[in-house]
Amino acid sequence: MSAPGNRHNSQAPGKLFQFKLVLLGESAVGKSSLVLRFVKDQFDDYRESTIGAAFLTQTIALDENTTVKFEIWDTAGQERYKSLAPMYYRNANCAVVVYDITQPSSLEKAKSWVNELKRQADPNIVIALAGNKSDLSERRVIDTETAQNYAADAGLLFFETSAKKSTNVNELFTSIARKMPLDQLAANSRARGNNLNQRGVDLNHPVAQNACSC
Amino acid sequence: MPQLLEVTEYDVIILGTGFIESILAGALARIGKSVLHLDANNFYGGNWSSLNFKELLEWTRSIQGVDGAYSTIEYEFYPIHEQVEDIPAMLLKESKRYNLDLAPKMVPCRGELIELLISSGVGRYLEFKAMDKTYIYSADTFDKVPCSKEDVFTNQSISLIEKRKLMRFLTFALDYTNSPDTYKDYEEKSFTTLLIEKFKIDGKLLLAVLYTIALIRTDANDVNTIQGLEKTQSYLKSLGRYGNAAFLVGLYGCGNEIAQGFCRVCAVYGGIYMLDHSVKHLLIDENSNKFTGLVDVNDQQISSTFLVSSIDYLPPRFLKEDEHWETTSRAIVIIDKFIHEESGDASLTVYPPETVKNKYPVTVLQFSAGTQTCPEDRYTVSDTKPNPLFALFYRHKKRVVSSSEIPENIIIASDPDSSLDFEEATIQARQYFEKMCPGEEFLPAGPDPDDEDEFIV
């Protein structure tokens, strides 16, 4: 999944890198809203939970030769009773851990998700911490510096965002894209070759038998 | 403080996150049913799960002496070789890199499950590799089995005459319904008889056709011509879709990953998930003999119109006597080298009956690090040959319920069967869905995530 794909090369010239991005954080901190703003540039005040989205994709052109495509996985509520499936973390290349600047417990929860990621996910995962609902400054209880210091100590990207006002949302995802080790991935992919056994099987793309049909 | 549910009324409560329960969870939520999905274990997959090494040991201890789906459970560490003094410590240290299937299975490249994975979109969550090598054991040697036409031509272990016989049979079997004259006199006879008399296939080649192509799992004499041809045909039809393999194996373990994929569909469509959450008792109305709800571990009463349940959660009075149960002897073995040279990431080896004092065929699925089921230089098999480091033996029972006593609004998901695939289980899930929701579509595809406009900064 982390390899440069060529399925969608027709969309953009140059190289396309595809990454799995997972969202984590306490319920109601605005995980889905951030994605909705990023992917569809929409916001819905009364949105209760994510329904119907297996995952969303969004493409960012970093420069004229490099395009990054995020496959964004929402928790689908499975985090609520601590029942997130191992599949969720599997092969995640990057993660956005979200807290709500108006909810004191949500930063603590975010820290425990960061620890969980460090335990369960790929050791090279790129993690960004997002303090959402920055538009509600009058109700702020978590100051910027506290979160920023934590992020610096833990080696995370950090942004305060507002999905509602569209503040720092694109910046958040773009900076993740820029932090992905693209050169290294390009080198790895050249070494991989086209062997079916090494690449795994794509169910939607049958591979003809390499035999004569006599 | 226990986490109480905010909502206590559902269309369907589902107990257990095994393969069948999980497909139903996804299908029911997909058409708008409200679903509460509970599992008493702290992992997904129930009796279809894949566990890491530490979890496997804990699981072994937890089922020992329990009157459930497993019996005669024994495990052993083999304190040999490699200058490694403490095998248990070594395996525990790399525990997380193992994904050991409790009921190992494969996915035929054509069939019920793969079509469902593609049509529902769940296949997008999963990763597979081709199982493209099959071996058969006889008289102290392993022979590579020719499966496809290409294999037949390049295989060096069979003679030219045998190649012709085999080609003639495979060509016929792929399309057997169009040549009824060939088999009409054999319909009542055993498949073996057809192969011997009509196609002059015997000896090693006969064993290979019976046990590695038709994949017969019992005594071949009990399999009639039509059954044998059906099995052979479904095998042959699976070839050529994803390269030169009839089966795919799941990365990170098979049944558990597939179950998690369908659970995700359920969650995405609003299903509520609680693992590590047990049930105290079911509420069944005595007069109407209908399920009305249950009381959970927190004494919360939760009601639903339907209950879908793994057998693990049913009161014992619903079960038939165990002489009716199908039992499979299984072993999980961790070894330090490939069984065969050039085995690749996954291989299948079959010991036909009577080759290792066995009454029924013994099937060995070998996985290496490429399938993400174990670390490099470790291989997991569901039987053995090179140096074993660890072996766990157990008998896995497919329990049977007595249908007359069970309330009609309880749907019971079967234990894993002895087959090497998920086909019967997938069919069962679909049939249950059709029974619960007549006329509704079974797992239609969700919106395509790629239907988005490009975004440029």
What domains lie within chain A, and their CATH numbers? Answer: 6-208 (3.40.50.300)
| Mean pLDDT (whole number) for A116-123 | 88
H helical segments located in B127-224: 149-154, 160-174, 180-183, 191-193, 199, 203-208
Nearest CA in chain A to B132: A197
Nearest CA in chain A to B453: A58
The token pair that represents B233 in the structure block: 């045909």
Q: Say whether A86 and B132 touch across the interface (CB within 8 A).
A: no
Q: Say whether A55 and B449 touch across the interface (CB within 8 A).
A: yes
- Is residue A46 over pLDDT 70? no
Chain centroid to CA B431: how far?
Answer: 18
Calculate Rg over the CA atoms of chain B. Answer: 23
Find out whether A166 and A134 touch, Cβ atoms under 8 Å.
Answer: no
Element (H, E) at A187: helix A182-192
Q: Say whether B452 and A58 touch across the interface (CB within 8 A).
A: yes
Q: Minimal Cα–Cα distance from A128 to chain B, Å? A: 19
CA atoms within 13 A on the CB side of B339: 30
Which residues lie across from A94 on neighbouring strands?
A: A21, A126
Length of chain A: 214
Strand pairing class (B272-274; B35-38): parallel
Burial environment of residue B18 by CB neighbours within 10 A (0 to 12, 13 to 18, 19 or more) = buried
User: In chain A, positions 159-198, which contact chain B (CB-CB < 8 Å)?
Assistant: 170, 174, 196-198
Element (H, E) at B262: helix B255-268
A63 part of contact set with chain B, CB < 8 Å: no
Pick the residue of A59, A83, A119 with the most B CBs within 10 A to test the interface with B by mutation.
A83
Element (H, E) at B100: strand B100-101
The shortest CB-CB distance from A52 to any of B252, B269, B271 is to B269
Nearest CA in chain B to A63: B457
Find out whether A126 and A179 touch, Cβ atoms under 8 Å.
Answer: yes
Residue A213 pLDDT level (bands cut at 50, 70, 90): very low
Q: What is the pLDDT along chain B (457 residues), one digit of tens a residue?
A: 677 999 999 999 999 999 999 999 999 999 999 999 999 999 999 999 999 999 999 999 999 888 888 988 999 888 765 566 688 888 999 998 999 999 999 999 999 999 999 999 999 889 999 887 899 998 888 888 876 777 777 877 788 999 999 999 999 999 999 999 999 999 999 999 999 999 999 999 999 999 999 999 888 999 999 999 999 999 999 998 988 889 999 999 999 999 999 999 999 999 999 999 999 999 999 999 999 999 999 999 999 999 999 999 999 889 888 777 888 999 999 988 777 776 678 899 999 999 988 889 999 998 888 887 777 767 676 554 567 889 999 999 999 888 788 999 999 999 999 899 999 999 999 999 999 999 999 999 877 666 544 333 3
Q: Minimal Cα–Cα distance from B43 to chain A, Å? A: 8
Q: Which residues contact A86 (CB under 8 A, 6 or more apart)?
A: A120, B44, B252, B260
Q: What is the DSSP letter of B409?
A: T
Q: Minimal Cα–Cα distance from A136 to chain B, Å? A: 26
B118 part of contact set with chain A, CB < 8 Å: yes
What domains lie within chain B, and their CATH numbers? Answer: 9-52+254-323+399-436 (3.50.50.60), 107-250+326-398 (1.10.405.10)
Q: Say whether B150 and A211 touch across the interface (CB within 8 A).
A: yes
Q: Say whether B150 and A203 touch across the interface (CB within 8 A).
A: no
Question: What ipTM does the predicted assembly reach?
Answer: 0.84
The token pair that represents B287 in the structure block: 């007069």
Report how far residue A121's alpha carbon sits from residue B228's, in angstroms, rounded to the nearest whole number.
45
Residue type, A208: A
